[in-house]
Structure 1
Amino acid sequence: MKSTCLISAILPLSTLDEDFTGHLVYLEKLKLMKQNYRGIRRLRRDGNCFYRAFGFAYIEYLLNGKLIKEAGRFKKKCDECKDTLIANGYTQFTVEDFHEQVDDYELSFIS
């Protein structure tokens, strides 16, 4: 994953095996996770990772569930927030970088 990547594509849980080498308790928990989850996404660790993870998970939930109307409402709210954040002094590049990734992700479901 590039250091500039805000959120990765879905990666197999096996990518965590190396992170927990030598930690048997965590490796056992990882085995259990592999039975129920298909993968993980890595995030840029910049202090906003919780919000980014929550936002992407929510969008994914809506789009996978075909809740297109709610996804549209959420996108509209994100668009409004983007403008508000920039108006209140957040760095335009940072806000737009995240916003573009959200838009690209949503478009991948539509096309």
Structure 2
Amino acid sequence: MLNSINDTTSQRALMASELTPLSVLREDFDRESVFQKQLDFLQKNGFSSVRRVRGDGDCFYRSFAFSFLEQLIDEPDREFAVMRRLSLLDGFEPSLKSAGFDKDTYQDFKEEFEECIKAFAQPDHTGRVMNLQSLVQVFQDEMKSHAIVFYLRLITSMKIYEDQENMAPFLMNPETFDPMSPTSFRRRQIEVMGVEADEPQIIALTNAMKVNVEVAYVDGHTTSDIVKFVRIHNAQDENSRSIMLLYRPGHYDVLNRGKP
């Protein structure tokens, strides 16, 4: 199931697709499987669409990045929200240095991410600011999409370095489940493109970016049709919306309540 989902997603999805009905995922599963029942559960609870991202091992970071940026569209004070997020990125500089990353290592990738954020408040040469359609276009550009993903990987690695004493018991080889040192985990499981993310990476990145994330697990690991949601809350604003992600075996997409 894991390989089939990844293969299907890689073949069909762009880096990030337009919103599509949640029902399109049904063809990835056996007709009578618990996965179908879990999709029914999500639809009954108001989740009607999904934004598919490429299943290339970077899907968590790409889904996270898209949602993180998309939230800027509905900010009532967009200029303030943009300034706050740019300030957050600038605040990472000392920590990135402490984690062993020279500025030359990440500056180009950071600037790509910053340009996306700034575009929500600063008009381009046509006089337009970033909207949902142009954001999709950014993520369909492989170079830009990869740059943003790699920068977020470095932020994730930095955060695990900062909190390695607490994170160390949860760092393990995803195939053998053998413990890994923080240094080895960072180098092999985070700082390499195409390597999938698990809970330690999700916790580290959401903590660093100060956002709330909710992951709906449609994983078939239960006979129940109820979908388990893992909620990680790090936002300082109690009214902050959560980034909504959908997990299937080996893959993340963006989950959405609205209709496509």
User: Scaled by the length of structure 2, what TM-score is found?
Assistant: 0.30
Match in the other structure for 2:39: 30
Equivalent AA in structure 2 for residue 37 of structure 1: F
Select 1:49's aligned residue among 48, 53, 59. 59
CA distance in 2, matches of 1:38, 1:67: 28
Match in the other structure for 1:70: 81
CA distance in 2, matches of 1:72, 1:38: 32
SS in 2 for 1:26: helix
Distance 1:72 1:11, change over 3 A: farther
CA distance in 1, matches of 2:19, 2:71: 14
RMSD of aligned alpha carbons: 4.0
* Gaps in structure 1 of 5+ consecutive residues: 78-86
C-alpha deviation, 1:56, in angstroms: 1.2
Q: Deviations over 1:78-106 (max 9, x none)?
A: xxxxxxxxx428xx8xx6xx86xx57x95
Match in the other structure for 2:15: 6
CA distance in 1, matches of 2:85, 2:32: 40
Q: Deviations over 1:7-58 (max 9, x none)?
A: 1111100101111233431111101111221311111122221111111112
C-alpha deviation, 1:2, in angstroms: 8.6
C-alpha deviation, 1:75, in angstroms: 6.1
Larger Rg over CA atoms = 2
Distance 1:39 1:9, change over 3 A: same
Distance 1:51 1:65, change over 3 A: same
CA distance in 2, matches of 1:71, 1:48: 25
Q: Which runs of 4+ in 1 moved over 6 A?
A: none
